[in-house]
């Protein structure tokens, strides 16, 4: 599981943000963002959480594998922003 692998990396710990820490229930509150490699293996995850404000998106949990490509989270966030923009999000 990506969350377990992420926590094994040096200087990593669960942060307590809006959603708290990783849980399957929290991940289901909004659409997940997933970056996969060519073989279909998940390399990074993030989730969008409800803001209850039209046109505004909020990203909460962001984690990647220890062996993921160096800029995988940059890629995931950029692709997420482009997708949200196409759906009409402004912020």
Nearest by Cα to 29 from 15, 19, 44: 19
Q: What is the dihedral of CA 68, 69, 70, 74, to 10 degrees?
A: -90
pLDDT value of residue 61: 79
φ/ψ (deg, to 5) at 60: -110, -90
Q: pLDDT per residue over 34-84, tens digit each?
A: 999 999 999 998 888 778 888 888 887 788 888 999 999 999 999 998 998
Torsion over CA: 83, 36, 60, 26 (sign): positive
For residue 16 the two structure tokens come to 């307590």
- What's 39's DSSP letter? T
Distance, in Å, from the CA atom of 9 to the CA atom of 85, rounded to the nearest integer, reads 32
Q: Name the 3-class secondary structure at 83.
A: helix
């Amino acid at each position: 599981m990506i969350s377990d692998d992420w926590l094994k990396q040096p200087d990593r710990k669960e942060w307590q943000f809006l959603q708290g820490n990783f849980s399957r229930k929290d991940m289901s509150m909004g659409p997940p963002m997933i970056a996969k490699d060519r073989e279909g293996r998940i390399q990074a995850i993030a989730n969008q959480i409800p803001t209850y404000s039209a046109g505004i998106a909020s990203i909460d949990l962001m984690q990647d594998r220890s062996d993921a490509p160096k800029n995988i989270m940059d890629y995931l966030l950029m692709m997420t922003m482009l997708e949200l923009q196409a759906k009409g999000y402004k912020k």
